[in-house]
Amino acid sequence: MATLGANFVDLIDIYKQQDSSGQYIEVIEMLAEMNAILDDAIAVECNKGTEHLHTVRTGLPSVAWGKLYQGITQSKSRTAQVTDTTGFVEGLSTVDERLLKLAGANSGAVRLSEAMSYIEAMNQEVASKIFYGDTASDPEEFMGLAPRFNDLSAANGNQIIDAGGTGSDNTSIWFVTWGEQQTQLLYPKGTMAGVQREDMGRQRVLDGSSNPYFAMEEKFTWHVGLAVKDWRFVSRIANIDVSNLEAGSVQLYDFMRKAYYQLQNRRVTKSKYSTGGMKTKGPSKKICIYCNRTVLEALEALSINQGASDSFVRLKPMEIQGEEVQTYKGIPIREVDALLNTEAQVT
């Protein structure tokens, strides 16, 4: 027999969220993660339904010095079309209406708490797929960054900095430029960016024995994809051996410098687009560095050990949109729990 509490909110869950007087208390979200990449990314509507078609310039026309009474050599640029796809992740919250009646005045808080857990779960899932989503193995997902930057001999192999790890306990640091012509999240044409929360109201549902009962349901849907229009604006420090990193034997700042200068352009310009594709006076492109807390701690340890004489490469705190973050060469370093310490070697 199935355990009801494993999939549905029950009375035990309700009692755990009440104090001695029966008042609802705020749940401490111990399962919440740090995935700031979702705050940085811009979102753009697809131009082809659930797909986004864009043209990448692969070659420039040839030019030549001219001579009097001599014609001009004809040439043209070369381009290639790339199609990026989107997928969608869903969740359905089902709470027995009898349980909500027992919760009394706290019924709204119970549903809100459950909704927040679904949104957090979707945030974690999408953040993970931004890095590791692979349509080759899971066609229902979208193509993330790691499968695009996973071959040192590929055309974009120069954007991958090999930190020397050879086992399966590796991690990565990512330099990502978000912008209209660089990297962006996608959402299907005619839809909206981000999580869509729909109150389905009172529904007649069936239990495991096909007996009906009534429940209040909410559906959560997120349509999302990723496009990398110009891979020169992304660099990856791959093969960071976590064991060596924790032992302090990985010279991260050497690799950080290489990744930084491998970016095509490190300047930020102004335009009408900002986070989420909203038409504001925000930057049209912005560079962010992404790593997990293991790497961030190691960066800080190296920074302290190097001393003040190496202040050019040390982490520096900076206030960005009211939040203090560590920066490297003025680029914010964002902590992302979705980045694993168990990556395979990139060869």
Rounded mean pLDDT, 312-327: 76
Q: Is 215 exposed, middle or buried (0-12, 13-18, 19+ CB in 10 A)?
A: buried
Contact (CB, 8 A) for 175 and 333:
no
Q: What is the pLDDT of residue 22?
A: 47
Instruction: Give bridge partners of residue 48 from the DSSP assignment.
Output: 51
pLDDT tens-digit series, residues 256-298 = 999 999 998 776 554 443 344 434 344 467 899 999 999 999 9
The predicted structure's pLDDT at residue 273: 39
Across residues 170-177, what is the average pLDDT?
Answer: 97
DSSP 210-273: S-EEEEEEEEEEEEEEEEES-GGGEEEEEEEEHHHHHTT---HHHHHHHHHHHSS-----B-SB
Strand partners, 226: 185
pLDDT in tens, 107-140: 888 888 888 888 888 899 999 999 999 999 999 9
β-bridge partners, 324: 319
Mind listing the pLDDT tens digit for each residue in 25-49? 443 444 445 677 888 888 889 999 9
How much is the mean pLDDT over the chain?
82
312/156 Cα distance (integer angstroms): 29
Per-residue confidence band for 319, with pLDDT thresholds at 50, 70 and 90: confident
102's CB contacts (< 8 A; 6+ apart) are 11, 14
